[in-house]
């Protein structure tokens, strides 16, 4: 059974849209300028800014206007109650399962928040497992988290594929292990010279299809390149 590893945030789900919806509600609830949403988005950096730095910056900007517990609630939730999985993504995952692939989510982040997203969207009933960096003690692109994903479903890493939107976390991690990879570009150009994805796709549903089709065609991961 081949292994298909999938990133969660901004790959299987639109994490940024959900977080910004929560941030918009936060601003409205506390009578803060709606124009601050752009500042929060820049500060958040698609979830890559550490939570303690986010909390400190929000506290410095809003001071006593916002209770600390409200800031904590925004960051603890992170939009987990608003995330969704698009229908084409569900169909692509169903095809992978029907074709005999073991699908495992590999995500950086806090265990509680990431598992809340997985369960809220029903991904826990679609994929065969998941690993969260906080739980395993290693973040992508470290090889240990990918090995933990394979161990979760009792499959070897050999012949596995990784699908994700992050060049550094997802594609560099797969490249270092000699795995096939599909970068979810969302219209962005590839900007790395040291490594490249095996394939590129505009969205995750197409990316999953590319991985399945390429693997069935007998090509191996690692050195091949495609897309742009």
160-178 pLDDT, tens digit each: 999 999 999 999 999 999 9
Do 65 and 97 fall within a single domain?
no
Do 160 and 59 fall within a single domain?
no
pTM value is 0.91
Assigned domain for 189 exists? yes
Burial class (CB in 10 A: 0-12, 13-18, 19+), 175: buried
Residue-wise pLDDT for 78-121, tens only, equals 999 999 999 999 999 999 999 999 999 999 999 999 999 999 99
The number of domains in the chain is 2
> Which residue range(s) make up the domain with 31?
15-77
DSSP count for the chain of H helices, then E strands? 10, 6
CA dihedral sign of residues 201, 207, 211, 213: negative
Do 10 and 106 fall within a single domain?
yes
């Amino acid at each position: 059974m081949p292994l298909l590893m999938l990133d969660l945030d901004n790959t299987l789900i639109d994490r940024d849209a959900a977080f910004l919806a929560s941030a918009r509600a936060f601003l409205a609830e506390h009578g803060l300028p709606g124009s601050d949403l752009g500042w929060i988005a820049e500060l958040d950096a698609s979830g890559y800014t550490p939570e303690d730095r986010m909390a400190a910056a929000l506290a410095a900007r809003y001071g006593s206007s916002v209770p600390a517990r409200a800031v904590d609630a925004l960051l603890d939730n992170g939009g987990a109650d608003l995330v969704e999985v698009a229908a084409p993504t569900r169909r692509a995952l169903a095809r992978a399962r029907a074709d005999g692939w073991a699908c495992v989510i590999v995500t950086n982040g806090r265990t509680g928040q990431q598992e809340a997203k997985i369960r809220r969207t029903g991904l826990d009933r679609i994929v065969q497992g998941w690993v969260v960096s906080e739980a395993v003690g290693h973040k992508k692109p470290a090889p240990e988290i990918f090995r933990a994903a394979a161990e979760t479903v009792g499959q070897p890493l050999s012949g596995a594929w990784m699908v994700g939107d992050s060049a550094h976390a997802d594609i560099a991690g797969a490249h270092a292990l000699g795995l096939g990879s599909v970068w979810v570009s969302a219209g962005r150009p590839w900007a790395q010279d040291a490594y490249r994805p095996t394939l590129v796709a505009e969205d995750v549903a197409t990316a999953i299809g590319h991985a399945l089709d390429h693997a069935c065609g007998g090509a191996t991961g690692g050195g091949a390149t495609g897309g742009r």
